[in-house]
């Protein structure tokens, strides 16, 4: 016969691991959404995945609301894990170094410097980035001049710079 005390102790472990469980929901949701929901961008799928994990965390936390301090710690832990996951995905998608290494690994004869420079043309890279920013509404173009559109990514970039200043005492890696 199962004792009530054993069930409560097992449930306590659920509360202890709630940030990790929520990260699992975050990652699973993001992967499923990005693969099976048509016309949703990578960034939106990451935000939706994070929200799904946050909802999971809140449900678990509300079931075991014993100490406000553990509630706050678990939310901060999940947020930090979600932030790390965002940058893990971002690194694999956008970093030229990662892309170059993947391309070189797939080519038996490698690439010459000239071929690499042709593939990584600065004008083409900037044109693609501008195209994505315009498509997502993050910038707008009026009279051949670019302006901030939706300020979400600007807010995120300011938040990242603030965190770099707080943690590293630098605004960028070039300081």
> DSSP string spanning the chain?
---HHHHHHHHHHHHHTHHHHHHHHHHHHHHHHHHHSTT--HHHHHHHHHHHHHHHHHHHHHHT---HHHHHHHHHHHHHHHHHHHHHHHHHHH-HHHHHHHHHHT-TT---HHHHHHHT-HHHHHHHHHHHHHHTTSEEEETTEEEE-S-HHHHHHHHHHHHHHHHHS-SSTT-
In order along its 175 residues, the chain shows pLDDT tens digits of 445 445 445 556 777 899 999 999 999 999 999 889 888 888 889 999 999 999 999 998 888 777 778 888 999 999 999 999 998 888 766 677 777 888 889 888 898 988 888 887 778 888 888 998 888 888 999 999 999 988 887 888 888 888 888 877 877 666 6
Residue 94 lies in a domain: yes
- Tell me, yes or no, whether 2 and 88 share the same domain: yes
Domain residues for the domain of 166 are 121-175
Residue 55 lies in a domain: yes
- Tell me, yes or no, whether 93 and 10 share the same domain: yes
Q: Look at the chain and report how many structural domains it folds into.
A: 2
- Tell me, yes or no, whether 99 and 16 share the same domain: yes
Q: Which of 77, 104, 131 is the last residue of a domain?
A: 104
Residue 166 lies in a domain: yes
Backbone angles phi, psi at 10, to 5 degrees: -65, -40
Residue 115 lies in a domain: no
- Tell me, yes or no, whether 83 and 13 share the same domain: yes
Residue 152 lies in a domain: yes
Q: How far apart are the first and last CA of the chain?
A: 64
- Tell me, yes or no, whether 2 and 63 share the same domain: yes
């Amino acid at each position: 016969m199962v004792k009530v005390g054993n069930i409560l102790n097992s449930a306590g472990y659920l509360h202890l691991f709630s940030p990790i469980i929520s990260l699992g929901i975050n990652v699973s949701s993001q992967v499923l959404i990005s693969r099976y929901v048509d016309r949703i961008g990578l960034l939106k799928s990451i935000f939706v995945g994070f929200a799904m994990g946050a909802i999971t965390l809140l449900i678990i936390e509300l079931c075991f609301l014993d100490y406000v301090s553990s509630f706050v710690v678990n939310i901060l832990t999940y947020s930090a894990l979600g932030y790390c996951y965002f940058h893990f995905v971002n690194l694999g998608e956008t970093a030229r170094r990662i892309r170059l290494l993947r391309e070189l690994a797939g080519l038996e004869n490698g690439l010459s410097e000239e071929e690499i420079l042709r593939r990584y043309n600065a004008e083409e890279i900037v044109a693609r980035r501008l195209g994505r920013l315009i498509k997502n509404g993050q910038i707008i173009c009026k009279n051949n001049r670019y302006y901030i559109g939706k300020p979400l990514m600007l807010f995120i970039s300011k938040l990242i710079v603030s965190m770099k200043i707080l943690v590293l005492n630098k605004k960028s890696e070039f300081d």
